[in-house]
Amino acid sequence: MAVLPVLIVSVVVCVDLADGAGMIWLPLLAAGPALAATTNGPRGVLWVGLLTVVLCATLGTRDGVPGRELAAVLSALVAVTLAGGLASALRGRRERVLAAVRSVAETAQHALLKPVPATVGPYQVAVRYSAAAAEARIGGDLYALVPTPYGVRLIVGDVRGKGLPAVGTAALVLGVFREAAYDEPDLLAVVDRIERSLARNLGHDDFVTAVVVGFPQAGHLEVVNCGHTPPLLVRPSGSVAAVEPTHPAPPLGLRALTGETPGLRVLPFTDGDQLLLYTDGVTEARDRGRAFYPLAEGLERHVSREPARTLDALHDELLAHVGGRLHDDAALLLIRKPALSESRVPEATVPAATVPEPAPPARGRCFSEAPDLAPGR
């Protein structure tokens, strides 16, 4: 729409008619085609330019502007119109390229970070992801949730670095996780598969922090933390506590440097319990006063029986905390075990996983029926 450029031209014409000064106001008509170049296509720019040339010639003749001076103004208007038309054509081309790039980015996002259903087996799930590069749509944070023969399993992680290399590493981790989660009965074996793959493909300075979670049977939760921020466990009472690892382990890709192996922690996870996994883009988000976003306190304020509503409130509060734009990728994944009395989508919509008999304690396992969880930070 050329409404604003035409409005500017109309104002200049009205001022000239009221003042009758001729050459003082006529050069300002060039603002019309110049502004049209930023908002319209080449055809719109040419129409506005033609309008300004006709009005300039009419007003110049009416005000008695000398021929040479009027010709100079008309030449300037023609030049501005042609330059504006070219700029408009180039802008349109860049917009089409950007639209194509964003379309590819959205396709890549759906391929890597597949949409998570609202209900998986007996659990309610919600995810919110924000890339720091708004036009990229994807970044170095990763998440995945898959129902397997060994229960529902999920991963949330953060790749060191940004840009295409980080996206490539995230794709590698997700691909290995989705394959291993179906093949390996032991959650630690899933982590080992990811570690071996990264050891073959990453540089010496690259690594991935991650939390891998499994629900092998009703009422139990398995957590393997590889240098990642601890998940937050929410009880039905609304209390929030951080699930700290009992055996700290290095990020994925660095095990060969330390020799440390991760441990498996088993916790109770019953009706009404919720588990929030997130990346450091959430907890390290700062406001203008350089204060970090208090995720645990925010979760206590906004926790509800609907994970999607909870994450919507957290995400909105996070954006308000940073002033509207995140400076790092941020991912939030919330899973909840609803009570049987609650009305929800029937479990038949997603095939329930076949749950094997619990495996005997393996290396690095820590079983705790009444865990001593660290308070939320």
pLDDT tens, position by position, 351-368: 444 444 444 444 444 444
Q: Hey, is 243 helix, strand or coil?
A: coil
Rounded Cα distance between 233 and 273, Å, is 7
Indicate the Cα dihedral angle 17, 20, 23, 28, nearest 10°.
Answer: -30
Identify the band that residue 104 occupies on the pLDDT scale cut at 50, 70 and 90: low
Residue 56: is its pLDDT beyond 70?
yes
Indicate the Cα dihedral angle 142, 145, 146, 150, nearest 10°.
Answer: 110
Q: Is the distance from CB of 213 to CB of 222 less than 8 angstroms? A: yes
The per-residue pLDDT for range 148-161, each reduced to its tens digit, is 999 999 999 998 87
DSSP secondary structure code for residue 289 in this structure: T
Contacts of 260 (CB under 8 A, 6+ apart): 248, 249, 250
User: When comparing pLDDT for 184 and 347, which is higher?
Assistant: 184
The per-residue pLDDT for range 83-92, each reduced to its tens digit, is 988 998 998 8
Please report the pLDDT score of residue 326 as a whole number. Answer: 80
DSSP secondary structure code for residue 29 in this structure: G
Residue 222: is its pLDDT beyond 90?
yes
pTM: 0.68
Rounded Cα distance between 234 and 283, Å, is 17
Identify the band that residue 191 occupies on the pLDDT scale cut at 50, 70 and 90: very high
For the residues of 133-157, what is the DSSP string, one character each? STTT---SEEEEEEEETTEEEEEEE
Which of 228-232, 288-292, 372-376 shows the lowest per-residue confidence on average (mean pLDDT)? 372-376
Please report the pLDDT score of residue 210 as a whole number. Answer: 94
Please report the pLDDT score of residue 358 as a whole number. Answer: 45
Rounded Cα distance between 178 and 182, Å, is 7
Which of 37-51, 121-135, 188-202, 255-269 shows the lowest per-residue confidence on average (mean pLDDT)? 121-135
The per-residue pLDDT for range 254-304, each reduced to its tens digit, is 888 877 888 999 999 999 999 999 999 898 888 888 899 999 999 999 999
- Over residues 111-134, mean pLDDT: 82
User: When comparing pLDDT for 318 and 20, which is higher?
Assistant: 318
The per-residue pLDDT for range 30-41, each reduced to its tens digit, is 888 888 888 888
Please report the pLDDT score of residue 352 as a whole number. Answer: 42
Indicate the Cα dihedral angle 122, 267, 142, 196, nearest 10°.
Answer: -120
CA distances from 61 to 55, 57, 214, 226, 260 (A): 10, 6, 83, 80, 88
Please report the pLDDT score of residue 365 as a whole number. Answer: 47
What superfamily would CATH give domain 114-375?
Answer: PPM-type phosphatase domain (3.60.40.10)
Residue 170: is its pLDDT beyond 90?
no
Please report the pLDDT score of residue 212 as a whole number. Answer: 96
Q: Is the distance from CB of 153 to CB of 145 less than 8 angstroms? A: yes
For the residues of 97-108, what is the DSSP string, one character each? HHHHHHHHHHHH
Q: For the chain, give every domain's residue range.
A: 3-105, 114-375
What's the whole-number average pLDDT of the chain? Answer: 83
